[in-house]
Chains A and B, each alone.
Chain A
Amino acid sequence: DIQMTQSPSSLSASVGDRVTITCQASRDISNYLNWYQQKPGKAPKLLIYDASNLVTGVPSRFSGSGSGTDFTFTISSLQPEDIATYYCQQYDTLVTFGGGTKVE
């Protein structure tokens, strides 16, 4: 199975900060990488698909980049409502989620 290593596992940031999360695949997955946001007690919400495509209605402060094995998720200016846990997910071969990054 493809392993997805997400880092950091948690981070502390202030409103207005730029937040960056990385996700590394154990082998080349092209751009078959999605990003989700999960708030406590809620199901995950899709934010970005195919590494860099923003889902309609998701604020433009969220962005994604990368291909192959290395991917980045960025919040350009952290807002209070962005406090959540973020997950990457590959679908090149079956499905694997990263371990998650808790943004506090």
Chain B
Amino acid sequence: QLQLQESGPGLVKPSETLSLTCTVSGGSISSSSYYWGWIRQPPGKGLEWIGSMSYSGSTYYKSSLKSRVTISVDTSKNQFSLKLNSVTAADTALYYCARRSVIRGFFDYWGQGNLVTVSS
């Protein structure tokens, strides 16, 4: 059974960089059938897609976040990571990592989420 687990700090100061890692177990991240992505959810609000990446390194980002986001993959560790720089309070959210089918476009496996609060 595929499992995804986010890890990273729960508190980040304004203007600093948010860094999260997603560890994939029970399956390989090196599959051309899937993208690996990040979705966030501010407290009490809806889902916002941040971006996705293929194991080969192709990246896709939400337009409004593109200038601040980097998603990278480490196939040797079966992990992928999110970096979001110049954070503000508006970036406070529950951050999910998830697997996305390339063909069908759906997110079928999700992590449990990592709450990140931006505050001084």
Contact = CB atoms under 8 A, between A and B. Distances in A.
Interface of A: 1, 32, 34, 36, 38, 43-44, 46, 49-50, 87, 89, 91, 94-100
Given A1-B63, A44-B107, A46-B108, A95 B46 contact: no
- Residue among A32, A91, A98 having the largest count of chain B Cβ atoms under 10 Å: A91
A36 B47 CA distance: 11
B49 A97 contact: yes
Contact of B96 (A43, A50, A100): A43
B3 to A, nearest CB: 12
- Residue among A36, A95, A98, A99 having the largest count of chain B Cβ atoms under 10 Å: A95
Nearest to A45: B110
Contacts of B62: 1, 94-95
A96 B49 contact: yes
Given A49-B104, A94-B62, A44 B110 contact: yes
A94 B39 CA distance: 13
Contacts of B37: 95
B105 A32 contact: yes
Contacts of B106: 34, 46, 49, 89, 91
A34 B37 CA distance: 16
A95 B113 contact: no
B81 interface: no
Closest 3 CB pairs of A and B: A91-B105, A43-B110, A95-B49
14 contacts: A1-B63, A34-B107, A36-B107, A43-B98, A43-B112, A89-B47, A91-B106, A94-B61, A94-B63, A95-B60, A95-B100, A97-B48, A98-B46, A100-B46
